[in-house]
Chains A and B, each alone.
Chain A
């Protein structure tokens, strides 16, 4: 067990130091002075180094294991991107430097916007949103502002029940009422069903294409037409863009607003939960509403334009997660258009190969083909009181991070697998064999061992109920 920092703390020393070449006394008025103890630990650098290094070794990560976490696109994070993200002339830059001293920064952002437009078929992008959900929220505010500008009162957003939880949460945050649309068994939308709830109150329909079951929305053109005829807008959740780059484009499908998760499709690291970036793209008629500042090119010089009176405003301070944007742009320059297309083809090939190998053994509610990910439902195979959760935990023992489980909510006992394009056939085969072994051999022959999993991790199964019942949220 790794000690906590407060348990490591001693009077022996601290890791960092700071000195000053200026001798000057500062007086802090008594009423403003901190009197309570800071309560920070004091740990020597050597011990601190060991502490965090040891902690890191308790993580499964992309750099150590196959990480088929569905919907998260855990593809290889190229090291050249990290090297570029550490270039001093990028990271030691203050956001309020005059634009003539940050032409390189603005060039990266300007060109990245252009490339995202080309990939997605949208007309303009803003790079400001810090994550996918933040992008959704931004897109929905743009939609709200658009309807306000044309003096239409539309209060609802339609979200399929197979969508990510962020969709309805973002819509609510943007002040809309969420109308849930029941999806079909493959996660898709029936135009007839959509029609029933597509009232004049509807501002937008949010769709994930391919959907969270990994299926392309085959009626997309009909849906787009229907939505637009109703005067509503169509929102594209770009979480699954990795399936279709260079093959088809949301803008061409009829989407008006979208976001892209750069930390998924464009290989920037997930950082243990962030930071990410969620650029928002729009069709030309919505450009005025994008967050400020906009980056513009004037006679080969890049400038920041804050004077956009119809803009929704600022969605966070400064310009967005520049370091993340930089990595994504570096990735694009490594791959180019052809490389990006190959990425999607390979991602879809890998997923379909896995699916084909599971076919006939484990239920696949969405059918025999998929795009870049697929969902298994082992419900009918579960024996001896075992559940999908147990399969996930057992996979940890075999040195795999578990796929996403119990999502989408529309599939019982769901196991959602997204291999990505950066894994070898050998890796995929070994994983498939392991899943089959757990379900068809271990669950039958050694159910207790599956129930007791994991045993090879730094801790065994953790009591989550107790954690929520009596929350301990900091050092005691």
Chain B
């Protein structure tokens, strides 16, 4: 099955119109010694065979009850999100170059931008970037463009894969990265920040909740960034903004993050949604597509791609970014997700995440052989537990019971040996949490 349509009669007519006898003549410009006779790719299956083939492969994966987060989260996706994202008028369209014939996508992106602005408290959002890691890298690049400065101050509690991606993005750009050390409780070391002084820092980048689940004192860091005349980049979990201070409230210049939590499934970590919102003054420096409202020739409201002279198809090597294809369909999911809760509903969703995580935390920390890593920290839906037990064994036992246990943090550094990062979302039930606790107690 190759989805081509021409029958022999049509083909013959087409060849005659072109004035050739055989399709192969159309490839005459390719040197003979470069031609291959065939390629060895298995396939040619019927639809049913293909489905069976993939069902068989899929059966080699295990769907688990997840207590693991660290960047990708198991949240409930409402039916409406799947229904809308599944509408072929959205998923089979491409970038809305012809605005008049793409008003559905354009208005949806405009609504998405509005919702991201509402959530972050910032002025302008773009149409999406690839993911949380790359949007963090793009934020750093934006800061360099604006300031001409060559240093970056980065929280050590930023997601390790975001740090790695950032380093990859910047590897040829002669940028110096300075890491803000962590305090004993694994948040940004305030003492370091207080004594730090360098006027070549383009941006201060801090994640909250940080990699260890802890809500940072973003206001404090923001004020410090202002004193340095650096841009403050907040890497945030959008769901946490239902209850925690927004980037706008603590006066961040740029907010970025992973929007998978807004209506996209985990799908092994991709495709997800990178989002970015900035203050008005930075809008012309922003990477990626932006949709704007305008009117048609009858004065009727409509939407177009705008501020396009920032982009690669016009500015080429001087563009604000190389991005073209982004994560539009995930942004649509985010849009449908964010528009159905109302303020109270969304806040409630965040509260339930936090309270379920707190319930699990309270139970696990008092188990024999387990203890909290930090006292008195505020966390959202992830927390760190230190254990005297064999970490590998813990996860092996949990896996046997159909549970994806906490993430082993021993790779992060010596201070995290025997530490476990748990995540509990609204999707986990009391029964599941109690089962987890029961299994941990028995190890």
Contacts and interface: CB of A to CB of B under 8 A. Distances in A.
Nearest to A69: B94
Contact of A467 (B165, B306, B338, B356): B306
B61 A458 contact: no
Interface stretch (B70-78, B149-157, B225-233, B366-374): B70-78
Contacts of B306: 464, 467-468, 471, 473
Interface in B89-147: 89-105, 107-111, 113-115, 117-119, 121, 123-125, 127-128, 130-134, 141
A58 B5 contact: no
A124 interface: no
A169 interface: yes
Contacts of A348: 23, 26-27
Contacts of B435: none
A356 B40 contact: no
A467 B3 CA distance: 40
Contacts of A87: 54-55, 58
Nearest to A405: B97
Contacts of B119: 38-40
B248 interface: yes
Interface in B337-375: 338-349, 351-352, 354-356, 358-359, 362
B318 to A, nearest CB: 7
B298 interface: yes
A48 interface: yes
B160 to A, nearest CB: 9
Contact of A273 (B47, B94, B103): B94
Interface string A442-466: 0000000000101001111111101
B80 interface: yes
B314 interface: yes
Contact of B270 (A22, A320, A392): A320
A24 B355 CA distance: 6
A460 B296 contact: yes
B281 interface: no
A318 B258 CA distance: 12
B39 A246 contact: yes
Contacts of B215: 32
A94 B131 contact: no
A132 B94 CA distance: 14
B267 A322 contact: yes
Contacts of A29: 378
Given A130-B131, A473-B292, A273 B355 contact: no
Contacts of A25: 355
B276 interface: no
A288 interface: no
B191 interface: no
Interface stretch (A192-200, A229-237, A263-271): A263-271
Most chain A Cβ neighbours within 10 Å, of B78, B341, B342, B351: B342
Contact of A58 (B70, B72, B107, B283): B107
Interface string A58-79: 1111111001010010111110
B402 to A, nearest CB: 10
A215 B34 contact: no
A283 interface: no
Most chain B Cβ neighbours within 10 Å, of A169, A315, A349: A169
Given A56-B90, A178-B317, A346-B4, A336 B44 contact: yes
A141 to B, nearest CB: 7
A130 B17 CA distance: 40
Nearest to B58: A89
Contact of A357 (B17, B95, B171): B17
B349 to A, nearest CB: 5
A169 B322 contact: yes
A355 to B, nearest CB: 8
Interface in A199-232: 215-216, 218, 220-221
Nearest to B326: A274
B379 to A, nearest CB: 10
B29 A216 contact: yes
Interface in B377-414: 378, 395, 399, 404, 407
A270 B61 contact: no
Interface string A13-31: 1111111111011101101
Interface in A83-133: 83-84, 87-98, 101-105, 107-108, 115, 118-119, 130-133
B96 A273 contact: yes
B307 interface: yes
A252 B243 contact: no
Contacts of A38: 118-119, 241-242, 343, 346-347
B314 A165 contact: yes
B295 A463 contact: yes
Given A321-B271, A461-B296, A425 B27 contact: no
A317 B267 contact: no
Given A28-B243, A77-B91, 15 more contacts: A14-B340, A16-B345, A20-B355, A32-B244, A36-B246, A90-B267, A92-B63, A136-B322, A313-B167, A317-B269, A330-B54, A348-B27, A349-B18, A371-B26, A467-B304
Which 5 residue pairs spanning A and B have beta carbons closest together?
A336-B43, A175-B172, A318-B269, A15-B340, A42-B342
28 contacts: A14-B344, A32-B378, A42-B341, A52-B84, A56-B84, A61-B88, A64-B88, A88-B58, A94-B64, A101-B62, A103-B61, A132-B324, A169-B322, A272-B90, A272-B93, A272-B329, A273-B94, A273-B95, A273-B325, A313-B168, A317-B258, A317-B269, A323-B267, A330-B50, A334-B43, A349-B26, A369-B26, A466-B294
